[in-house]
Amino acid sequence: MEVSPLRQVRKEKGAKKTKWVLKLKFGVTWKAIKKASSSTMKLNRFHLTCASSMKQLSLVRVQAEEAVKPIQQTHTKKKASHHVTKSLLSLLQLPYTASDFIDWGDLMTPTKSPKENISTKWREIHDLHNWDNLLDPLHPWLRREIIKYGEFAQATYDGFDFDPLSEFCGSCRYNRHKLFEELGLTNHGYKVTKYIYAMSHVDVPSWFERSHLGETWSKDSNWMGYVAVSNDEESERIGRRDIVMAWRGTIAPTEWFTDLKAMLERIGDGKIKVQHGFRSIYKSKSEFTRYNKLSASEQVMEEVNRLIKFYEAKGEGISFTITGHSLGGALALLNAYEAATSIPGLPISVISFGAPRVGNLAFKEKLDEIGVKTLRIVVKQDIVPKFPGFICNNILHKLNFVTKKFNWVYRHVGSQLKLDMFMSPYLKRESDLIGSHNLEIYLHLLDGFLGKQRKFRWNARRDVALVNKTTDMLIEELRIPKFWYQLPYKGLVLNKHGRWVKPCREPEDVPSPLSVASENELH
């Protein structure tokens, strides 16, 4: 796979020294660029390095934009200058090389795009007009907001304790006050107000994590996400007080999708039906548990109603945005349905990533009727959005003119933004079903997406190294370790006696079903 615009690298031996000559896409050698551009600009900010271990050369971009400006402003008819401009612009579009992951200090660009004030446009960004003219090409304001909510969903993975040898397996590793600080999300301007738990003993495949130890924090529940709310500064920027519910999903589309029972269960009195397993997670509760005396549904709605009451008393506009990846995207739709039916007039949006189908045609039509705005981000190579009903729906799709009104067929909801793994020059070409479902892959592709017929955005800001947090999907040339996101020493610490042990959690990080933001925190 070609990862740079270098067509040819050859070695020329001179009388006194060896010179490296680079032939660029536009047929101009590096020596010719330096000669032709000597009167219009200085190239001393480009560092040419020979990476002998990779047996190739890489150009490290340092202040390249500043270097190109003089050329763009110079109106000359000389053919050489024209080649210089095109060649240097191509250098700016180089994909990452190994050199980009060396810490260059202040010379490195930020990983976040600038925050724009969207206070007058937030309703359009949240689907006032079905995202018309905003998805293709993708509006940069919308891209930034989608990635923000995607990072809220990613936090439910990054903060989760997956260790089966931990007594706290299935819980969040941090208390709600520390979650965003520990995961580097404080810059988004939100604070977590409540953690949400769901019953882990429900009629679904292996979707929940359980400790292998005898004594655990809970034998019945898993941490499933959190409610957060925008602070004053962020609320001013986005034009309202935004309440967010981020649902945790499943990292990999393992066999549980093929084992998923496609049984539809009726909700309410009409023809509306949803998948049985999803609803079981959302609605299950037991008086004999510590964390699920209330169902996940009741926990969320209790907190959302509390926040609405508090901020409405202050005369503020409020929105409810629900996000989730995979299973979390399915729970987000059930949450949106309940919120819209119980709190009329509340602006509700769902931003989901790699989410499966949830309900039938009546469910889809009801969500449209009650004003739920849904944007589904899917990756072409990801199999999860094709479930439940993978085989049945594929066959019926070919007979859509006959089957489009069948009420027992699973239907997707809302608008779709479809991405393709092959559009990124940084990802391996093999079609990996597990890798293509990873949320960090989704966020990487989103950050580089401009439009269906356009190439990957050369000035994408999000750190490419994040892709390999829990995958091995980055091309080898970048030399980013695979599956690098893990606790130091795999969670062990050296105690005062010189023994490596599993540390006890800090008391404030032990899960508590009672922790909720006070009114003083909300001010």
Which residue in the list 382, 424, 444, 447 is annotated as catalytic?
382
For residue 187, give both structure tokens.
């810059």
Spatial separation of the C-alpha atoms in residues 145 and 96, rounded to whole Å: 24
Query: Using an 8 Å Cβ cutoff, are 190 and 209 in contact?
Result: no
Task: Say whether 437 is catalytic.
Answer: yes
3-state secondary structure of 346: coil
Candidates 462, 479, 478; CA nearest to 426 is 478
Burial class (CB in 10 A: 0-12, 13-18, 19+), 39: exposed
Q: Cα dist. 6→86, 94, 386, 455 in Å?
A: 14, 10, 39, 18
- 3-state SS of 440-509? HHHHHHHHHCCCCCCCCCCCCCCCHHHHHHCCCCECHHHCCCCCCCCCHHHHCEECCCCCEECCCCCHHH
Candidates 430, 441, 451, 459; CA nearest to 96 is 459
Beta 500-501 vs 190-199: how paired, if at all? unpaired
Spatial separation of the C-alpha atoms in residues 146 and 152, rounded to whole Å: 10
Query: Using an 8 Å Cβ cutoff, are 413 and 333 in contact?
Result: yes
Which residue in the list 295, 326, 352, 424 is annotated as catalytic?
326
Spatial separation of the C-alpha atoms in residues 200 and 226, rounded to whole Å: 17
3-state secondary structure of 255: coil
The residues pairing with 8 across neighbouring beta strands, listed in sequence order, are 23
For the beta carbon of residue 418, count every other beta carbon within 10 angstroms: 14
Which residue in the list 437, 444, 447, 509 is annotated as catalytic?
437
Candidates 196, 39, 117; CA nearest to 516 is 196
Residues serving a catalytic function are 326, 382, 437
